[in-house]
Amino acid sequence: MRLLAWGLAAFLGLLWTAGAWMGAALTEWASAVLQSGNLTVEEVRRMPLPEMPEWLRRWGDFLGLTAWRDAMLGALSVVQRHLPMLGGAMAWLVPLIWVVWGAGLALLIAGTAGLLRLIGRHQRP
């Protein structure tokens, strides 16, 4: 039972980590692009997305990353003159993503340990 619970917690932790890594990479990329200041919508259309690990590539389309990118391109054409200021504001999001990741991972570990302790108390000898 303990092995199954910790195995599930490890799997959920890996998914949580992959999501945080992907969010941080996309946010860092967007912040750098926006801070450049000389960005046009056509240049963004030619830019490649950040490289994803091979095992995550097949899920990229499933998660709708290209649809999100197209939606952001539409919004970009509206707010183009405010982009350098927006890029500077986005720069603080990457550390925040990792702080939230750490808090979530700590809660996952504490929750798993607490659940195992609670199950252990209520088992009959």
Q: Can you give the three-state secondary structure of 28-53, one letter per residue?
A: HHHHHHHHCCCCCHHHHHHCCCCCCC
Indicate the pTM of the whole model.
0.63
How far, in Å, CA of 82 to CA of 96, rounded? 23
- Range of 33's domain? 2-121
Residues with Cβ within 8 Å of 25's Cβ and at least 6 positions away in sequence, in order, are 50
pLDDT at residue 48 tops 90: no
Q: Phi and psi dihedrals of 59, rounded to 5?
A: -90, -10
Q: How many structural domains is the chain composed of?
A: 1
Mean pLDDT of 20-30: 89
What tens digit of pLDDT does each residue of 75-101 get?
A: 877 777 677 777 777 878 889 999 999
How far, in Å, CA of 13 to CA of 88, rounded? 30
Q: What is the pLDDT of residue 88?
A: 77
How far, in Å, CA of 80 to CA of 70, rounded? 15
Start-to-end Cα distance in the chain: 15
